[in-house]
Every structure is written in C-alpha cells, then in structure tokens.
A and B are shown apart, each in its own frame.
Chain A
C-alpha cells in the first residue's frame, strides 16, 4: 500500500487539476451520486440507528447507576458526530462503493476499455476518476449527516425504553444540545470529506493499475477496500490531532 502512496498523490493532483471540467461531467456525477447516496442511504440509516442504540446501551446503565443518566445524550451525541458516524460510514462506503469503483475501473483496464478511451484522446482521469471523486466527496458527508441524526434517534430510543436508563426524549436531547454544537458536526463532516477523498483515490488508483484477468480484478477490489480502511483509521488520528489545534 505505502509504496503506491506517491502514485495516489499524483492521481489526486491530476484529478484536482481537472476540477474545472466538473460541469462537463455532471451527468456522470449525477449517476455516481445516485449510486453512492441513494443506494446507500437505507443501509447507512440502519447501521447508525443501531450504533446509537448500542452506544447508549453500553454507557447508559453505568451513568444511570451513578446518577448521571442525563449526561447520556451529550456523550452519545458528541461521540457520534465527532467519531463514530464519520469513521463507521466511511468504512461502510469503502466496502460498498470503493469495491464497486475498483471493480468497474479494473475491469475496464483489463478489457482494454481504458486503452480505447486513450486512443480516442479521452483522458481516463477526466472521464472516470473525476466524476467518482466529486460524487463521493459530496455524497459521503451528506450520508454522514443523516447517519448522525438517525444515530441520535437510535440512542435516544434506547435511553427512553431501556428500564435501567429510562430518561425522556427531552432530557436526552437537552443534554445533547448543551454538549454538541455546530462546530462538532462540522468537524465530523470535514473528517468525512477527507475519508471520502481517500476512498475515491485509493479505489480508482487500484482500478487503474489492475493487471491480469478476473483474478487481478478480485485482487484490486480487496486491496482497494483494505487500503481504504487502513488509511481511514490512520488518518483519523492525524486529522483529529490537526482539528484539535483549532479547538478552544
């Protein structure tokens, strides 16, 4: 993975340089947005509902025993928007969309479709990478926003209906409002944006360097997903550290 970092940075640089062509590629971007956003929304919501729920289930009883049940809303709200939703959604999308990107581009590479584009003087970065990268950079933060909201609802539902916790919706969201502000959500969305770029670049790069037949495509898909997840988790630390400089 790390030996290809240079190539990935070059791919990202070339894609950024082609950003002025975004409007021309809007149809392909809409298609990708639909694929990434709409098709993943339900799965993202279900996942978030249960992440919020289990977070409350594990922390709620301990806090309630110590008379701190009202703090649950703040803890669940803060950890979901700062950490859990961005990381978990990015891992989900790396598996679902990153694999699809690597497989599609890898298959085009193996079956000479990308060579055909080059002979037509159509730049594969403009045609294939740019729409995917723009779409995932837009769709993933939006998915995470939904995920945060649904996760809060999941956490609140468990807090209300679990007899060991048993607080009201109002109490849950009141402490959540006290602890979480817009900058926390923005912080999480910024992280997500970085992860989206990582997934897009790693997956497209793996697709473009695919060699061999179906086995090569399979190898690329596995590498795209594993490398994306590893980079997301490593970058999560550094981006968090970076964002801490801006906090009071």
Chain B
C-alpha cells in the first residue's frame, strides 16, 4: 500500500508475471510462471494445497525475491522501491496477520494512522464503518486474540478496504468463513471492482467463490499454471488434473445406506 492516500487515481493496475521461478532448499516451488492480470480484472488462481499459490502471491506484493523472472506493475518492476509508493497495493493474509498489540479498530485504521492521511476522529469513523459493513459491529475495541478465525479474516479484509487499493491480493479470503459470510466477501470483491475499479487477484480453493467472482481463472498444479481462461473455459477444460479438482466431492453417502437409516 502506498502512502499517497486518496490523491492517487482510483483505477486498478495491470500486473504481469514473467518467467517466475523460486526454490527453497533446492526444492523448486515455482517453475516458471507467466500470466498477466488486466486492469480492473478479478483473476482467481485455483489449485490444490501446496501448489505454490501463496508463495506466488508473496512475490507479487514484493515480500519474496524471485530466483528468476520478474513482476511488473504497470510495466514497472515490483523490486523498484518507488512502485510501492506510486501504487496502492494491499494483501489480505490467510491468517489475517492482525497486530495483536493493537485493538481491532487500530488495526483497521493502521494504514491511515501511520501515514497520517486522516485525523484520528475520521480514522475511527472509517474503521467503524468498514467493520460494520463486514458484519463486525461492536468489536472495534476488542483485541484480535478475542476474535474467532473467521472474524479475524473479516477484520483483515476491512483493513485492506480502508485504503481503497488499486491492486488487492486475497490469500484464501473465505477459508474459515461460513457460507453466508463467504457470499458477503464474494460480493465485496465484486463491489470493489465496480466502485473503485480495483484489480483483484484471489488465491483460493473455494470453487464457489472462484466461479462466482472471477473474470478469469488460472489453475495451478505443482508450481506451474496449467490453464488460464474464463470460468466457462476452465469448466470445459478436459485436463484430468483440472477435472479432478473441479469435481471432487463426497460420494460415499450416495452409494451406501447411511448409519442413521440402518438403525431406523
């Protein structure tokens, strides 16, 4: 996220990833990733756990340095320190990553406070508004440690929303959330696109969320993108790895008589 506040234009940014490779202790995690996310697009990266989705996201926000390849935001390398000042980028972490030493309200207003973009009263009002929007009324003065996993996730989303970013990265935004809140988050991702034309990059294995919000979906498997396309194109892709991921379901109950039926 940049310190330039609302003086920046409100449109989303284009992100391009070129030949990204990364290994940890000799184990290749990203094996040459290439894709581009267009301005104002909602791009979802799906794939099984351990396929390298979160590592990819960390590279895009500049938290990790690639072994090879580059990430460009509006054509400028993310490794250029000026990019973080020029564009407002935000990330919603899978764990929430809330600062435990601050209250929930202080967490949500942290960006505005630290960059001195608003007065304390205004920051307080914005934090309350964002928290209520995400169904978190009355938690502003509580400590993050008092919240459930799902509540922490929503606070993290509120913290990202406060700055109205140009690129927002979501790492598993609906994990630990109930179906109703999953819909709220999905709608908010779409709302942000409509309202401030933000570019969204979502990493998730929630199929409902992905097909509900994505303009395009990329399927990731063992550190490689094996398909990129619209939701319909991905659904119709014949690759067995994709079909297995998309159609995985509990089937045993359809075949067997349930324990309950047996006893009644």
Contact = CB atoms under 8 A, between A and B. Distances in A.
Contacts of A127: 114
Given A111-B95, A113-B98, A121 B63 contact: no
Nearest to B162: A120
Interface in A106-165: 107-108, 111-113, 115-122, 127
B114 A122 contact: yes
B84 A121 contact: yes
Contacts of A111: 95, 97, 100
Contacts of B89: 119
Given A121-B3, A121-B84, A121-B85, A116 B97 contact: yes
Nearest to A25: B114
A121 B2 contact: yes
Interface majority SS (helix, strand, loop, mixed), chain A: helix
Contacts of B2: 121
B99 interface: yes
Contacts of B116: 24
Nearest to B88: A121
B111 A122 contact: yes
Interface residues of A, number: 16
A113 B1 contact: no
B97 A120 contact: no
Given A104-B101, A121-B2, A116 B93 contact: yes
Contact of A120 (B85, B95, B98, B110): B110
Interface residues on B, range: 20 to 34
Interface in B115-139: 115-116
A115 B85 contact: no
Contacts of B93: 112, 115-116
B73 interface: no
Nearest to B171: A112
Nearest to B93: A112
B90 interface: yes
B111 A113 contact: no
Contacts of B85: 121
Nearest to B84: A121
A122 B93 CA distance: 16
Given A104-B101, A118-B63, A119-B90, A112 B114 contact: no
Interface of A: 24, 104, 107-108, 111-113, 115-122, 127
3 pairs of A and B residues whose beta carbons are closest in the complex? A116-B97, A112-B97, A119-B91
30 contacts: A24-B116, A104-B101, A107-B100, A111-B95, A111-B100, A112-B95, A113-B97, A113-B98, A113-B100, A115-B58, A115-B97, A116-B97, A116-B98, A116-B99, A117-B99, A118-B62, A118-B63, A119-B1, A120-B1, A120-B90, A120-B110, A120-B163, A121-B1, A121-B3, A121-B84, A121-B115, A122-B111, A122-B114, A122-B115, A127-B114
Given A120-B114, A120-B163, 4 more contacts: A107-B100, A108-B100, A115-B58, A115-B63
